[in-house]
Amino acid sequence: MLAAATRSARSLCFRPLVSASRTFTSSTCRREEVLRPASLTTFTDEEQMLRDTVKRFAADIVAPKVREMDENESMDPSIIQGLFDQGLMGIETSPDQGGAGCSFTSAIIAIEELAKVDPSVSVLCDVHNTLVNTVLRKYGSKEQQEKWLPQLSESKLGSFCLSETSSGSDAFALKTRAVKDGNNYILNGSKMWITNSYEAEIFLIFANIDPSKGYKGITCFIATKEMGIKIAKKEQKLGIRASSTCTLDFDDLKIPEENIIGGEGKGYKIAIEILNEGRIGIAAQMLGLAQGAFDKSVPYTYQRQQFGQPIGTFQGMAFQIAQAAIDIESARLLTYNAARLKEEGKSFTKEAAMAKYWSSVVAQRVAGSAIEWAGGVGFTRETGIEKFWRDSKIGAIYEGTSNIQLQTIAKFIQKEYS
């Protein structure tokens, strides 16, 4: 099925670049200029084909492994390889560097579709694309891009290392130190709650080269696991269990000076700007999660009969389902509005915060209701509905808590009205 989709997509708008097995390997995925305003549900043919392809990949390849990966708290290597084979690990990256050259919205589409089946796989793809790849595309030198982006597009998973024990919401209170030593920097410190870190081979590490300058000493380095990055602990979590979350230790980690991204002291600027984009990715993950829970539970309400009629047709249940559909649609519009604003080069920080906040609220709300709609069946692991609720809790925590999003939104409102 995926091979057929590949042939169909290429016959219409794609040309082979790296591997004949990869689906999205052309730079023709950019949204065409429209002459009149379009709805937020209007997508280019290429974006729609990507959605269809990711949907089939998620259903055919990911879905059969979801429960096993959740129970084992481990990502199946074949899933990661499948994402690379389908060209989904370099969605915005230039074809010259092994990527697909597609739009930011294309990345959001892929994240949403994967989350409908498994939010763990979705966040792996999300962090790799919207954080790691984007940092290199926006701030890496030409030499750095040519060296690292092909690897990230074709075979090596990336990880974004910012958070520490003392720096969660206050990200710039980080303690990891980098000291100049000739043509190298020596890093010492640790990172916590780092997504993708167990399987990753390439790491973006934020460390302070001059604590006396405060956040202006924070610098972004790129490193590989083989340089000596140590995984100190792999967390056991409530949800997104197949997605690895680890503590990393750096003990005299030597990184060449040429591996600084964006220049000395520019790490704080990189982190702030990239996390604004990343929040749209998390919004898409929560949106897909909510839709996935809805899609699993609602059909059951029309199959299950009590008192001589499907339970979904009782007014109390029907109204709950209708409200959930409204909530999901509102989250979808917020998410894709933020994505399009970002693509158009307009301010999107407030809109990204709104999308992430509301999608996280909706994900928890809908996933919780989906369990109740299915009753005892929904409470069991067999249906997979309860997993969506467990996975939904992280949306209010990572890449900026819900309170941080509300604070960001409030500041924009205060600026506008005061």
* Helices (H), ranges, 26-118: 45-57, 66-72, 77-85, 104-115
H or E stretch covering 207: strand 202-208
Could you tell me which residues are beta bridge partners of residue 245? 195
DSSP-derived letter for residue 32 is: P
Whether 399 is catalytic:
yes
Structure-token pair, residue 76: 């199946």
Token pair for residue 343?
């693509």
Residue 130 in contact with residue 370, Cβ under 8 Å? no
How far apart (Å, rounded) are the C-alpha atoms in residues 159 and 151? 13
Alpha-carbon torsion (320, 324, 330, 334), positive or negative: positive
Residue carrying the six token digits 């602990």: 233
328-334 long-range Cβ contacts below 8 angstroms, 24+ apart: 328/287, 328/290, 328/291, 328/294, 328/362, 328/366, 330/358, 330/362, 331/283, 331/286, 331/287, 331/290, 331/355, 331/358, 331/359, 331/362, 331/363, 332/40, 332/41, 332/287, 333/40, 334/283, 334/358, 334/359
Closest CA relative to residue 355, chosen from 340, 377, 338: 338
Token couple for 193: 């709650």
Q: Tokens at residue 153, please? A: 């597009």
Buried-exposed string 301-311: b where 16+ CB fall within 10 A, e elsewhere: beeeeeeeeeb
Catalytic residue among 257, 329, 399, 416: 399
What is the distance between the alpha carbons of residues 219 and 227, in angstroms, rounded to a whole number?
18
Q: What are phi and psi of 193, to 5 degrees?
A: 60, 45
Could you tell me which of 283, 284, 180, 195 has the C-alpha nearest to residue 231? 195
Q: Which secondary-structure segment (H or E) carries 191? A: strand 184-195
In the chain, what are the helix, strand and coil shares in percent, each to the nearest 5?
55, 15, 30
**Which residues, listed in sequence order, are joined to residue 246 by a DSSP beta bridge?**
194, 234
Catalytic residue ranges = 399
